[in-house]
Structure 1
Amino acid sequence: MAPRTFARRFQQETGTTPYRWLLRQRVLLAQELLEGTDETVDSVAGRAGFGNAATLRHHFLRVLSTTPHAYRRTLRGADPAGLRQGACPRPSRLSRRAAAGAGGQSFGTVG
């Protein structure tokens, strides 16, 4: 299949471009790693495919309107007054998958 045909059919099935879908999946993985590990943000960035903390921070802010550090701090209860302004509440796994579109993994059938 030609790359343009793939991109067009991917968008028809998922409602987003392959690039945006991939970025969202990387942010979801980073969220999981920030929630479940004590790894540094640099390490999380590398494991999630962003390469470095600055790139992770950029995409995290665009998708979730918060930084990786603020996200982790909020999850660990370091913000007793509730969420800082601009911080994102911890979404359930189901809502994160729904936000990723089509269960986060489904591509449907591409003829």
Structure 2
Amino acid sequence: MTAHRVRAAEELLERTDLAVDRIAAEVGFVNAATLRLHFARARGVSPQQYRRTFALDPEPQRVAG
């Protein structure tokens, strides 16, 4: 279950500019701290560090809401 949430967070980090707090809620984590903990354990980097690898993408999708 956690692995699925981390993967969903990964996709949102890659494709949107949503805040990590919002991503945590969207994928089912209690809060951003919990997402950060599980994400770092699974991927070896923080969500923000992971997102920076996609920073060169000129037009991330913006999600309304």
Common fold by TM > 0.5 = yes
The answer to whether the aligner puts 1:42 opposite 2:21 as a matched pair is yes
- 1:74 Cα offset (Å): 1.5
Q: Which runs of 5+ in 1 are unaligned?
A: 1-21, 78-111
Q: Secondary structure at the match of 2:41?
A: helix
Structure 2 match to 1:88: none
Structure 2 match to 1:86: none
- 1:61 Cα offset (Å): 0.7
Q: Equivalent pairs: percent with the same residue? A: 50
- 1:24 Cα offset (Å): 0.3
**Matched residue count:** 56
TM-score normalized with structure 1 length: 0.49
TM-score normalized with structure 2 length: 0.81
Q: Which runs of 5+ in 2 are unaligned?
A: 57-65
Q: CA RMSD in A?
A: 0.8
Which structure: larger Rg? 1
